[in-house]
Amino acid sequence: MSKVLAGMHVALISGFSDNGAFDPKRQENILEYVMRQNVTGLYVGGSSGEGALMSVAELSAQQEVVKGVAQDTNLELIAHVGLPSLRDSIELAKRAQSLGYHGLSALPPHAYPYSQEEIYEYYEVLAAATDLPMIVYEVPVRTGRPTPLDQMIRLLDLPNVKGIKYTSSDLFALAQLQKARPNSTYFFGFDEIISSALALGVDGGIGTTYNVLGSLYGALYEAAAASDMKKMQQLQRISQDYVSALLVTGVIPGTKLTLEMLGVDCGPARAPFKLRGEDPRKTLEAVISDPAFREWIV
């Protein structure tokens, strides 16, 4: 059975001017690079895009820029609309629907330590606000706690909820969830261990490093479909080398610096983000100069 929105989606980074304002031109520069890669779609306005640091107006403008650039392609567009305010989330969701996006996703509300029932009702109202398929989100690193299995099952049973972006290293819980709701779409969010999740049969991935290495992850997805374990291991190790460097430089600032080093004028990360380490450029150069890495640069 074909799953809704399955495949490998770039967690799109955002283009900012030197003073930190949203910059449509730099967003287009990023899209020009990303869209040359072997990916299924774009995940717009999420954590990788610094969405939590952007206003509703900026996120709405970004949705429009992305749709305008990608409208004549086959790329699936998923708008992340999970903001601390449910009212703002609904506004963004309706905006995405009016622009012709293919799906929505949302972090659980995370500004306060909400109860599981409050989180459930947030998703219930948000999923009902449009006709677009909704992808809910499990990400303990952001919420500070894992979601109980029975709660995730309840969320997947909501009308309009078609799947989950699962960003947790608890693969046993993921397998239990897949067994309980096999018809849902499962995305995995940890780039550095996506091969493990693909081996469990997830339907795709959504990741930050796809901005740079989208074609590599597309090949990894195809290798998993072909049960080519050796190829999966080879590609995953290249991914892991890059992620290791980003953990030194800072993931989002380091991703943007990588694109700059590859000739993409994408602008800086928004404050308070900043590059880390003694020499971030040198740290990244050691990885991206490797022929195994360069093979995947488009």
Residues tagged active-site: 137, 165
Nearest CA to 184 out of 205, 165, 200, 163 is that of 163
Q: How far apart are the first and last CA of the chain?
A: 32
Count of CB atoms within 10 A of residue 163's CB?
Answer: 25
The CA distance from 62 to 54, in Å, is 10
Amino acid found at 110: H
CA dihedral 45, 277, 242, 12 (to 10 degrees): 10
Q: Which residue stretches of the chain are H helix?
A: 24-34, 56-70, 86-99, 116-128, 140-143, 149-156, 171-180, 194-199, 210-225, 229-249, 251-261, 280-288, 291-294
- 198, two tokens: 């693909």
